[in-house]
Amino acid sequence: MAKIPFPIHQPSVYHTHMLFRFILLVMLAGEAFAIGSPYTPDLPNPILEPWRWRAYPALEGYEIVCATEDEDGNLWFGTTTCILRHDDLRITLFDENHGLDGERVVAITTHGRHIYCATPKGVFQFGLTDWDRVFPPEGDHA
């Protein structure tokens, strides 16, 4: 009969219990991870956060088409018939009496300290109190 090079031991009750506990732990841990799903935070839409918005009751009734902010912090709003400037104290209205053509303001922008707006009939630049047509030149209406 051949001699076995190492002795064969019967596992003790302690080792059997430890092995059983280890297998049970692996099975339960695997089951716990399989049931769960990855955490995904429920983040609010940053555009809809109320602190980002400010209501301007004086603008009610105007159809705002475009807007910009100048270097002094004034807000300029282009509407379907005029331009409104809000300087934190008051809202000033600019219409035909201030050099505009009474058309829908389709764009308003700043370049340095200059304010420009565009209507279907031309491009205007704001002076100190009124708007001046810069394109097409006065008298050259398309």
Classify residue 54: in a domain, yes or no. no
Residue 78: CA count within 13 A, CB half-sphere: 25
101 dihedral zone (left: phi>0; alpha: psi -120 to 50; beta)? alpha
Classify residue 21: in a domain, yes or no. no
Classify residue 42: in a domain, yes or no. no
Classify residue 141: in a domain, yes or no. no
Number of domains in the chain: 1
Per-residue pLDDT of 10-24, as tens digits, reads: 667 777 878 888 888
Instruction: Give the mean model confidence (pLDDT) for residues 113-140.
Output: 88
Per-residue pLDDT of 47-65, as tens digits, reads: 888 888 888 888 889 999 9
pLDDT attached to residue 94 = 95
Classify residue 106: in a domain, yes or no. yes
Whether the predicted pLDDT of 142 surpasses 60: no
Tell me the whole-structure pTM to 2 decimals.
Answer: 0.62
pLDDT attached to residue 110 = 95
Whether the predicted pLDDT of 71 surpasses 70: yes
pLDDT-based confidence at residue 3 (cuts at 50, 70, 90):
low
Classify residue 33: in a domain, yes or no. no
Chain centroid to Cα 25, Å, comes to: 47
Classify residue 72: in a domain, yes or no. yes
Contacts of 11 (CB under 8 A, 6+ apart): 19
Classify residue 131: in a domain, yes or no. yes
Whether the predicted pLDDT of 30 surpasses 80: no
User: Which residues constitute the domain of residue 83?
Assistant: 64-135
